[in-house]
């Protein structure tokens, strides 16, 4: 695999197991030995779109440092085939598997997973199934799937346009149990996708003791303390044998806000880590 000083980001369609997947490939730009390629794993629902700018900026930085990046729209999301409600956990994992195969066919010897928010669970499930994927970059990972689903449902309830549209948390959870579609802030979402997410917890992955994990959280200020849960997770995973590095940076919660904001310190620290860890 060689670097390409003049190549730009390349949009294309990748043949996935259930339809075409829109992808953007950022090739490495430096005239140096290529360091590997990142396979990006997106978050769910509106967070997916809110994070696009940050992900694109970081992919360009990775490119400058000699890394490739493959950014996939999973089936039913973005410009890929299918509707959002068509996606489920198994389909997403199959899409990511297809992305990994594409990267391997491009000649990369080292592939790293780069996961954001809910994407952490997908990335770790993929790593569990694929021994070749042992290096994982986590941005603001969700640690508790049940709490994440509750948050998504609360946002959906708060965003109802009128009293006529209002429903209750109980009704939304009943729809999940009935394996129907649940509307989340305009996204018709597969209930089975939410049901699987609800079963996930970061402690289920301590068995992946051979992973090398770089974990970044974004805090609102230097005065804000990291969560006790994240401290416990880091400790438990390290005791299980994983090589895990945690770093908190100060910046805006870009995955939560409608306006496009950039967490510059996250970009800087991630790039510094990537440059140091070849």
Residues 6+ apart with CB under 8 A from 261: 252, 254
Based on the domain organization, do 133 and 211 belong to the same domain?
Answer: yes
Q: Are 68 and 103 in contact (CB under 8 A)?
A: yes
The model's pLDDT over 205-256, given as tens digits with 9 standing for 90+, comes to 999 999 999 999 999 999 999 999 999 999 999 999 999 999 999 999 999 9
Q: Would the pLDDT of 191 be above 70?
A: yes
> Three-state SS for 257?
coil
The model's pLDDT over 87-104, given as tens digits with 9 standing for 90+, comes to 999 999 999 999 999 999
What is the percent of the chain with per-residue pLDDT over 70, rounded to a whole number? 93
pTM: 0.94
Q: State the DSSP string of 145-211.
A: HHHHHHHHHHHHHHT-SSGGG---HHHHHHHHHTT-EEEETTEEEEHHHHHHHHH-BGGGGTT-TT-
Based on the domain organization, do 132 and 241 belong to the same domain?
Answer: yes
Based on the domain organization, do 178 and 188 belong to the same domain?
Answer: yes
Q: Lowest-confidence range among 1-5, 83-87, 139-143, 155-159? A: 1-5
Q: Which domain holds residue 81?
A: 10-143+202-276
Q: Would the pLDDT of 3 be above 60?
A: no
Residue 163's CB is within 10 A of a number of other CB atoms, namely: 6
Rounded CA-CA distance 150/158 in Å is 12
Instruction: Give the burial class of 239: count Cβ atoms within 10 A of its Cβ; 0-12 exposed, 13-18 middle, 19 or more buried.
Output: exposed
Based on the domain organization, do 45 and 138 belong to the same domain?
Answer: yes
Where does the pLDDT of residue 71 fall: very low under 50, low under 70, confident under 90, or very high at 90 and above? very high
> Three-state SS for 219?
strand
CA triple 245-39-11, angle to 5 deg: 145
Closest CA to 117 of 261, 215, 226, 196: 215
Q: Classify residue 41: in a domain, yes or no.
A: yes
pLDDT of residue 169: 78
Based on the domain organization, do 72 and 124 belong to the same domain?
Answer: yes
Where does the pLDDT of residue 108 fall: very low under 50, low under 70, confident under 90, or very high at 90 and above? very high
Based on the domain organization, do 55 and 187 belong to the same domain?
Answer: no
Based on the domain organization, do 115 and 230 belong to the same domain?
Answer: yes
Mean pLDDT of the chain: 92
Rounded CA-CA distance 222/82 in Å is 43
> 182 or 234: which carries more pLDDT confidence?
234
**Looking at the 3D structure of the chain, how many domains does it have?**
2
CATH number, domain containing residue 102: 3.40.50.1820
Where does the pLDDT of residue 110 fall: very low under 50, low under 70, confident under 90, or very high at 90 and above? very high
CA–chain centroid gap for 23, Å, is: 15
Q: Which two tokens stand for residue 215?
A: 């974990």
């Amino acid at each position: 695999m060689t670097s390409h000083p003049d190549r730009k980001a390349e949009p294309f369609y990748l043949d996935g197991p259930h339809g075409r997947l829109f992808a953007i490939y950022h090739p490495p730009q430096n005239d140096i030995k290529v360091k590997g390629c990142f396979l990006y794993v997106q978050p769910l629902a509106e967070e997916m779109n809110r994070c696009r700018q940050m992900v694109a900026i970081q992919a360009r930085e990775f490119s400058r440092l000699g890394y490739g990046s493959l950014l996939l729209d999973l089936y039913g999301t973005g410009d890929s085939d299918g509707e959002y409600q068509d996606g489920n956990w198994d389909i997403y994992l199959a899409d990511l598997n297809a992305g990994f195969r594409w990267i391997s066919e491009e000649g990369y010897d080292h592939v790293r997973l780069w996961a954001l928010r809910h994407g952490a669970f997908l990335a770790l499930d993929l790593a569990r199934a694929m021994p070749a994927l042992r290096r994982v970059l986590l941005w603001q990972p969700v640690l508790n799937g049940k709490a994440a689903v509750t948050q998504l449902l609360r946002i959906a309830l708060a965003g109802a346009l009128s009293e006529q549209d209002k429903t209750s948390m109980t009704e939304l959870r009943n729809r999940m149990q009935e394996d129907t579609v649940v509307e989340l802030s305009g996204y018709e979402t597969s209930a089975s996708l939410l049901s699987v997410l609800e079963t996930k917890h970061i402690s289920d992955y301590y068995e992946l003791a051979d992973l090398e994990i770089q974990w970044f959280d974004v805090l609102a200020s230097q005065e804000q303390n990291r969560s006790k849960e994240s401290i416990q997770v880091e400790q438990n995973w390290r005791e299980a044998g994983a090589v895990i590095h945690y770093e908190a940076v100060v910046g805006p919660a870009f995955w939560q806000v409608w306006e496009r904001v950039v967490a510059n310190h996250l970009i800087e620290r991630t790039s510094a880590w990537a440059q140091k860890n070849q």
